[in-house]
Every structure is written in structure tokens, then in C-alpha cells.
């Protein structure tokens, strides 16, 4: 029996495991009926993607993906999904009606993409594999240096983008301080005529009768 090590290297085996897992979990996110299960599959997708990043020698990013996305964002997301009372029947409505259109479009896109992104364009002779980094190579240091030099401008814009997201979210949900509905006597006493009444001077508009008699032109 042929040893598997003769056909593939360990790296390749890991790659196929992780990418197969990612594809499977990604499609389960869409297919699964229960939204909580869908979120959990999304977590699995992220974890397998972080495995792929690990193979690309981007250790720091891989760990950050797990810590930030899986550990914080997705857990939050899970809570929200659990609290929401999603009516599954209404979500599924029209699923079978749009299925033929959806499938034909996706088949078309997949065929087109495979022809465009296949090995002809991105094979090893077109894009050679990078040489592996030495053992003492520091991922974090390289990232830090790039972020604050070469990518300073995009980095700062991304920071502003996050600020805007906070402002937008707060301005949409904040409805002002909830105050008690009891009347405030001192304010009621202090009210002036100008606060409540506006006197308007305006020309009289035509009424129906006048138009019929033609008295005003």
C-alpha cells in the first residue's frame, strides 16, 4: 500500500482538510434551517479559514481571527440570534419559487469563475510559491511596521470608518433620555403665549363657491 506521504506533503493534507471544512461549513450556513446552527457553522468556517491562514504563515492574523471574530463578534452574534424571534415560515416563503432562477444564476457564475480563476491563470508557473520564512521571523513586527508606514493612510481611514459606524448606530437607536411623565409645575407656570400660539397672516384662498360664481379671479 502506498504511503500517503508519497502523494502529498503534510501541508497539502492540512490544506485540503481545512478548505474542505470551510466549504462544507460555508454551505451549511446557508442551508441549515435553524439560525443558531447557521451561526455555529459560520464559527466553524472562521476556524477553518484561520487554519488556512496558519498554513500561509500568517500566524498573528490567524490567531486574531479566532480571538476577535470567533471569540467576540460571533458570540455576540449568537446572543442576538437567540434573542430574536425569527419566524422561519416567512423566511422560507418563496424559496422554492426562486430556486430555479437562483440555481441557474449560480451555475452560470460558477462556470464562469472556474474558467477565470482556474489553474490556467493562477497555476504554480504563473504565481510561484513563496519561499518559507526563517524560523525567527516575527509576524507581528512585520505587520506593525507595515500598518504604520506603508498602510498608514488606509489604516487611519479604516479607524475613521469605525468611528462613523459608532456614530451612525447610536444616532439611529438613541431616542433621548427617558424622562418621567409627571408635569413640571414650574415650567407650566412659566409658559408664554409665544410658545404655544403662532399668529399667521395669510391671503384668503379661493373657496369652492367663489370659483363657481367667478367673483374672485
Partner 1 sequence: MSLSSHEFYLVVPEIWIAAMASLILIVDLYLTEKTRWITYFLSQITLIGAFYFTWVLWGQGPKTAFYETFILDNIGTLLKMVIFVFGFFVFMYSRKYLEEHNSNRGEYFVLCLFSILGMMVLVSARSFLTLYLGLELFALPLYALVAFVRVETLSRGLSQVLSHETGAEAAMKYFIMGAMASGMLLYGVSLLYGVTGSFGIAEISSFLTQETEVPLAVLFGLMFILVGLAFKFGAVPFHMWIPDVYQGAPTAVTLFISTLPKLAGFGMAIRILLDTFHALSPHWQELMIIMAILSMAVGNIAAIAQSNLKRMLAYSTIAHMGFLFLGLLAGPESGYAAALVYVIIYALMALGAFGIIIALSYRGFEFENIEDFKGLAKREPWIALMMMFILLSLTGIPPFAGFYAKFLVLNALIHAGYVWLAAVAVLFSVIGAYYYLRVIKVMFFDEPKETLPLQYQKVSKSGVALVAVNGFSVLLLGIFPAFIFDLAVSAFVR
CB of 141 to partner 1, least distance (A): 17
CB of 6 to partner 1, least distance (A): 31
CA–CA gap between residue 61 and residue 50 (Å, rounded): 8
- Alpha-carbon distances, residue 95 vs 25, 27, 48, 65, 109 (angstroms): 21, 16, 29, 33, 20
Q: Whose Cβ is closer to partner 1: residue 36's or residue 109's?
A: 109
Residues that bind partner 1 (CB under 8 A): 112-113, 115-117, 120-122, 127, 149-154, 157-158, 160-161, 163-165, 167-169, 171-172, 200, 202, 205-208, 211
CB of 180 to partner 1, least distance (A): 20
CA–CA gap between residue 125 and residue 32 (Å, rounded): 39
CB of 13 to partner 1, least distance (A): 24
Joined together, the cell numbers standing for residue 215 give 367673483
CA–CA gap between residue 48 and residue 66 (Å, rounded): 10
Q: Whose Cβ is closer to partner 1: residue 15's or residue 37's?
A: 15
Q: Whose Cβ is closer to partner 1: residue 180's or residue 207's?
A: 207
Q: Which ranges constitute the DSSP H helices of 118-207?
A: 119-122, 139-148, 152-173, 185-189, 193-196
CA–CA gap between residue 158 and residue 160 (Å, rounded): 5
CB of 51 within 8 A of CB of 65?
A: no
Q: Whose Cβ is closer to partner 1: residue 95's or residue 174's?
A: 174
CB of 207 to partner 1, least distance (A): 7
CB of 1 to partner 1, least distance (A): 38
Q: Whose Cβ is closer to partner 1: residue 31's or residue 169's?
A: 169
CA–CA gap between residue 87 and residue 70 (Å, rounded): 26
Q: Whose Cβ is closer to partner 1: residue 100's or residue 208's?
A: 208
**65 Cβ neighbours under 8 A, 6+ residues apart:** 46, 49, 50, 53
Handedness of CA 36, 42, 46, 51 (dihedral sign): positive
Amino acid at each position: 500500500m502506498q504511503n500517503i506521504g508519497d502523494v502529498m506533503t503534510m501541508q497539502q493534507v492540512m490544506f485540503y482538510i481545512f478548505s474542505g471544512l470551510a466549504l462544507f461549513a460555508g454551505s451549511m450556513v446557508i442551508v441549515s434551517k435553524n439560525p443558531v446552527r447557521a451561526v455555529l457553522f459560520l464559527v466553524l468556517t472562521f476556524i477553518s479559514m484561520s487554519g488556512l491562514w496558519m498554513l500561509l504563515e500568517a500566524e498573528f492574523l490567524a490567531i486574531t481571527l479566532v480571538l476577535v471574530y470567533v471569540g467576540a463578534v460571533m458570540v455576540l452574534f449568537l446572543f442576538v440570534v437567540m434573542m430574536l424571534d425569527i419566524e422561519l415560515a416567512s423566511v422560507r416563503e418563496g424559496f422554492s419559487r426562486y430556486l430555479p432562477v437562483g440555481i441557474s444564476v449560480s451555475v452560470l457564475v460558477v462556470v464562469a469563475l472556474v474558467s477565470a480563476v482556474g489553474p490556467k491563470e493562477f497555476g504554480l508557473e504563473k504565481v510561484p510559491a513563496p519561499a518559507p520564512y526563517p524560523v525567527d521571523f516575527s509576524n507581528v513586527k512585520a505587520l506593525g511596521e507595515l500598518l504604520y508606514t506603508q498602510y498608514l493612510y488606509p489604516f487611519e481611514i479604516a479607524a475613521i470608518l469605525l468611528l462613523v459606524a459608532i456614530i451612525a448606530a447610536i444616532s439611529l437607536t438613541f431616542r433621548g433620555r427617558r424622562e418621567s411623565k409627571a408635569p413640571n409645575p414650574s415650567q407650566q407656570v412659566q409658559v408664554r403665549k409665544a410658545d404655544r400660539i403662532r399668529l399667521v397672516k395669510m391671503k384668503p384662498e379661493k373657496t369652492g363657491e367663489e370659483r363657481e360664481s367667478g367673483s374672485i379671479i
